[in-house]
Amino acid sequence: MYTLVHKDKNTGARAGVLATEHGNVETPVFMPVGTQATVKTLSPAELHEAGARIILGNTYHLYLRPGDELIKKAGGLHEFSQWDGPFLTDSGGYQVFSLAELRKITDQGVRFQSHIDGSYHFFTPESVIDIQRNLGTDIMMLLDECSPYPVEKKDAARAVRRTSDWARRSKIHVGQTAPPHGFKQAVFGIVQGGTYKDLRRASAESLIDIGFDGYAIGGLAVGEPKEHMMEICRWTADLLPKNQARYLMGVGTPEDIVNAIYLGVDMFDCVMPTRNARNGTLFTQNGKIVIKNSVYFDDFRPVDAECSCYTCRNFSRAYLRHLFKANEILGLRLATLHNIHFFMQIVTDARDHILHDDFASWKKSFLDRYNQKQGGYS
């Protein structure tokens, strides 16, 4: 499903196209997070306007509420939410680790309590495929065991072994089940292994041996130092097939994204642009700004003078600050729209410069400017 269009001459950065049943996705790509069948505060029309190409949904949340059976009955997640571009869903495993109560992992699967009502549930490699079949997403992720940081090697090794076993079961189950909504659903495996390079190699080789449509690098951005993250990202990306998509899960900041693109990663997702927006933190070419700060009281400039989003084309920092101070929902919307647009602009610009073989110099100038001064003054 992935076509490598061009590799930058001087770095690992790749420009590609990911073919899905709901359209082609140019990579590198950032996927806004639409946890509960909506990217928080935005309409599908606004997602398109902000440049979104593919949305991530959370299997854990949708399974619990409103339930994958309801979404199946609605005709799938596209029909339910009216986002007509591609959807990728995670397996729910990571949310079980981070949100659910009283989780218990065995070789069979993971038992957990809902964070909503305390009810008991059990995810298996097979059941999360069934759920994602019901949701009707374009890319399904396998159930994996994500090691925390730090983790002892024997525990990381057990997680790798279990992730591989589950991947084998998943592959069989995918083959035995049909997509219910009339279009093919791709499947990505997830490489684990913590910060242990030999475990990462074993995990990647085992998954490639089973064979999936793409590969994710999991278990990073879980608290490890940034240099470990980037070193393991580089190591793992280099183990993955050149002709398939590479997805770094849960990453990240603008810096992380451009640095991982440099290493050959194609896909990203993170709640940062949406969550930060709702806290009033806005991204600009010149760094982040905290829109509630009093300095913006009578600042009638747009958030980012070089940005072409609806927010920046129409509204001032002073108006946005007012909306945030007055707890007006329009403020959350305009900030989210801008931040998503900003993240999409990063991957768009990255791709342009990969195609022109000058990704490294663009990355340097982007990061120099972005990090030079926090505050958004140009």
Active site residue 269: yes
Question: If binding is defined by CB under 8 A, does position 298 make contact with its own copies?
Answer: yes
Shortest spacing between CB 179 and its own copies, in angstroms: 20
* Ramachandran class of 250: left when φ > 0, alpha when ψ lies in -120 to 50, beta otherwise: left
- Exactly one of 325, 349, 360, 369 binds its own copies (CB under 8 A); that residue is 325
Shortest spacing between CB 310 and its own copies, in angstroms: 8
- By C-beta, is 69 or 205 nearer to its own copies? 69
Kindly indicate which of the ranges 69-77, 161-169, 171-179, 185-193 contains the residues binding its own copies, using the contact rule CB under 8 A.
69-77
Phi, psi of 324 (to 5 degrees): -70, -45
Residues 6+ positions from 363 with CB-CB distance below 8 Å? 11, 258, 259, 261, 262, 350, 353
- By C-beta, is 69 or 107 nearer to its own copies? 69
- Exactly one of 314, 361, 371, 372 binds its own copies (CB under 8 A); that residue is 314
Question: If binding is defined by CB under 8 A, does position 319 make contact with its own copies?
Answer: yes
Q: Out of 8, 144, 266, 269, which one is annotated catalytic?
A: 269
Question: If binding is defined by CB under 8 A, does position 38 make contact with its own copies?
Answer: yes
- Quote helix, strand, coil % in the chain, to nearest 5: 45, 20, 40
Alpha-carbon span 229 to 219, nearest angstrom: 9
- By C-beta, is 290 or 330 nearer to its own copies? 330
What mask of x and - would describe binding to its own copies in positions 151 to 190, judged by CB under 8 A? ----------------------------------------
Q: Which stretches does DSSP call E strand in the chain? A: 2-7, 14-20, 23-27, 29-31, 55-57, 87-89, 101-105, 110-113, 120-123, 139-141, 186-191, 214-217, 245-248, 267-269, 281-284, 287-290
Q: Which residue has the tokens 């990505």?
A: 188
- Exactly one of 316, 357, 367, 369 binds its own copies (CB under 8 A); that residue is 316
CB 287 within 8 A of CB 372: yes
Shortest spacing between CB 45 and its own copies, in angstroms: 8
Alpha-carbon span 129 to 69, nearest angstrom: 13
The Cβ of residue 313 has, within 10 Å, a number of other Cβ atoms equal to: 9
Active site residue 90: yes
* Cα torsion angle, 194, 199, 203, 208, sign: positive
Question: If binding is defined by CB under 8 A, does position 115 make contact with its own copies?
Answer: no
Alpha-carbon span 63 to 122, nearest angstrom: 11
Residue 249 token pair: 């899960």
Residue ranges in 78-97 that form contacts with its own copies under rule CB under 8 A: 80-82
Q: Out of 90, 138, 144, 266, which one is annotated catalytic?
A: 90
Shortest spacing between CB 35 and its own copies, in angstroms: 9
Question: If binding is defined by CB under 8 A, does position 37 make contact with its own copies?
Answer: yes
Kindly indicate which of the ranges 38-46, 105-113, 164-172, 207-215 contains the residues binding its own copies, using the contact rule CB under 8 A.
38-46
Query: What angle, rounded to 10 degrees, do the helices at 254-262 and 329-355 form?
Result: 20
- Exactly one of 117, 294, 326, 368 binds its own copies (CB under 8 A); that residue is 326
Give the closest residue to 240 by CA, choosing from 290, 201, 187.
Answer: 201
What mask of x and - would describe binding to its own copies in positions 17 to 36, judged by CB under 8 A? -------------------x
Give the Cα-Cα-Cα angle 347, 186, 92 (nearest 5 degrees): 80
- By C-beta, is 97 or 319 nearer to its own copies? 319
Phi, psi of 290 (to 5 degrees): -100, 105
Q: What is the signed CA dihedral for 171, 176, 180, 182, rounded to 10 degrees?
A: 80
Question: If binding is defined by CB under 8 A, does position 42 make contact with its own copies?
Answer: yes
Shortest spacing between CB 81 and its own copies, in angstroms: 7
- By C-beta, is 109 or 331 nearer to its own copies? 331
| Binding-site ranges for its own copies (CB under 8 A) | 36-38, 40-45, 61, 65-66, 70, 73-74, 80-82, 297-298, 300, 310, 314-316, 318-319, 321-323, 325-326, 328-330, 332-334
Name the residues annotated as catalytic.
90, 269
